[in-house]
Chains A and B, each alone.
Chain A
Amino acid sequence: MENRIRVLLLASVMLLTSGCATLHKHMHWPWHRHAKAQTAQDADAAADAAAAAADAAPPPVVIEPQVERRKIKVPKIKAKNVELGAYFGELSAESYTAAPVVGVVFDYHVTEDFFFEAAAGRSKTGQTSFETLGGNVQLLTDDERRFTYYNLSLGYNFLPGEVFLGRNLAMTSGFYLLGGIGGTKFEGDQKFTVNFGAGFRVLPTDWLTIRIEAQDHVFKSDFLGTDRLRNNLAAHIGATVFF
């Protein structure tokens, strides 16, 4: 309970310091001596200017301008940096037979070169060769055989170009590299996972993307004997939409 009070007090101190930092930009505090001096100087300058204005005769008004300046309302420019979609492919978890994988993907393009990606996918791996040869031996339950993963990655676009379909259709395209971190739930455990890969995307229109991608999901595990790094390769094809 004591901790909560301490947290409350610290929170109020933090808010106050932020408030002061903001106000500091807009007003002069009384303890700022140079601010007072500046004000006195400003007053002198204003008095001089007033005297000069009084000397000069007011210019005669010839024509009163009747033109009103056009006010331009600047419409907001819509930003379409978000890409949302799904993919389907094959995942080959090390030591298991390959199996289909499905996933969803969310991209945010920050610059023309770099983007952030959050992805999540799911597969159900096949059997190990030990299980296949051993007849009725089952190392994992059905639930433990589920390979569920997510990752947060940074992507880099390179080799931009165009692909041509026949004489009249050109579509923009580009390769990208991906690398990130995440987690995998497999073999009854959650594992810290590093993912990296590359892909190729084609844009039939400016809002639709078709992508082909290959990724490796690497984690450390001792489930199959020794504690070692295991590579789980996935290849998939997907479609995303820009928002």
Chain B
Amino acid sequence: MPRRSTTNWLRLLALLLCVAPLPGRAAPRELLQLFVTAPYIELHTGPGRGYPVAQVVARGESVDVLYRRTEWFKVRTERGVEGWASEKSLETTTLADGSPFRFDHGDRRGFQSHRWEGGIFAGDYAGATLVEGFWARSITDNLKLELHAGQFLGNLSNGYVADLGLNHVFMPEWRLSPFVTLGTGFERTEPKATLVTPLNQNYQTAYAGAGARFYLTRRFFLRAEYRHHTVFTKSDANEVKQEWKIGFAFFY
């Protein structure tokens, strides 16, 4: 049995290597050309303020933007030299028609209006410790569709939870904004073995909850919430589970 699982792991790794596209060999694509209007902009050797400045691009010259990593842009100068320019330095550049170059910042306005969110939660799920990751897609500034998936680890049982639901943020422009959430999900409980081997149980669940989000800085925010789960068991009465959690999240 262990031998077979090792083989499966190796297969998965081989598959990943085959499927992964080879970087650096992408087909030529159209690049954004930006013109320097400040006296000069600095190009660093790496995508961070601590990396040394290796080149400067003077006013009137242009750069091609190859791609971005966090708040840094990999650019190529007219002479073919490549380097990393900061988001801040490119704020002073213009497009070919003379209009200023604009892009999405990770700031308070971005916190109000963004497309995606992701993060990590830690909490308590009916007495068990909860570890969870979440992903959300904004439908409007107020309404989000979100997916949570996690594991709970308790003294009597372990298990997995996955929830899909809607999240309504009341005042997305506020730094501390409350929200309500509602959805459905799935719960798998694996009771810990004692004398007899118990069976794993899979049930559908529904939840309603409320919480708040707090903007920290850049692209980060904190999120805390309570959820009231109803587990649709096979017995006559449904089971109720309470969940408390706090998370660290980002948006983009």
Contact = CB atoms under 8 A, between A and B. Distances in A.
A172 B84 CA distance: 12
A174 B48 contact: yes
Contacts of A162: 45-46, 51-52
A109 B69 contact: yes
Interface stretch (A13-21, A37-45, A55-63, A131-139): A13-21
Contacts of A110: 70, 106, 218-220, 250, 252
**Contact-residue bracket for chain B:** 35 or more
Contacts of A172: 45-46, 51
A143 interface: yes
A68 to B, nearest CB: 12
B192 interface: yes
Contacts of A116: 118-120, 250
Contact of A111 (B24, B153, B219): B219
Residue from A108, A143, A154, A192 having most chain B Cβ neighbours under 10 A: A192
Contacts of A130: none
A67 interface: no
Contacts of A7: 182, 184, 206, 208
A157 B71 CA distance: 14
Contacts of A188: 193
Residue from B20, B119, B142 having most chain A Cβ neighbours under 10 A: B142
B8 to A, nearest CB: 11
A120 to B, nearest CB: 10
A206 B182 CA distance: 42
B140 A22 contact: yes
Contacts of A15: 143, 166
Nearest to B133: A152
B11 interface: no
A74 B153 contact: no
A160 B24 CA distance: 24
A75 B24 contact: no
A203 B220 CA distance: 26
Nearest to B102: A74
Interface string B82-115: 0000000000000111010001001000000000
Contacts, number: 163
B214 interface: no
B142 A180 contact: no
B62 interface: no
A86 interface: yes
A69 B97 contact: yes
A99 interface: no
Nearest to B158: A190
Given A18-B142, A110-B219, A112-B47, A181 B120 contact: yes
Contact of A206 (B30, B74, B140): B74
Contacts of B9: 102, 122
Contacts of A74: 32, 95
Given A17-B168, A110-B219, A172-B46, A70 B96 contact: yes
Contacts of A170: 45
A14 B140 CA distance: 13
23 contacts: A7-B182, A7-B184, A7-B208, A14-B180, A21-B140, A21-B142, A22-B141, A75-B29, A78-B67, A86-B13, A102-B9, A110-B106, A116-B120, A143-B1, A152-B120, A160-B46, A161-B50, A162-B51, A172-B46, A192-B131, A203-B46, A205-B24, A241-B23
Given A181-B120, A192-B131, 11 more contacts: A4-B232, A14-B168, A72-B95, A72-B96, A72-B99, A78-B67, A112-B47, A116-B119, A153-B120, A160-B50, A161-B51
Q: Which 10 A-B pairs have the closest CB atoms?
A: A172-B46, A160-B50, A18-B143, A207-B23, A78-B67, A192-B153, A190-B158, A192-B129, A75-B30, A152-B120
Interface of A: 3-4, 7, 10-11, 14-15, 17-18, 21-22, 69-75, 77-81, 84, 86, 102, 104, 108-112, 114, 116, 118, 122, 124, 142-143, 146, 152-154, 157, 159-162, 170, 172, 174, 180-183, 188-192, 203, 205-208, 241-243
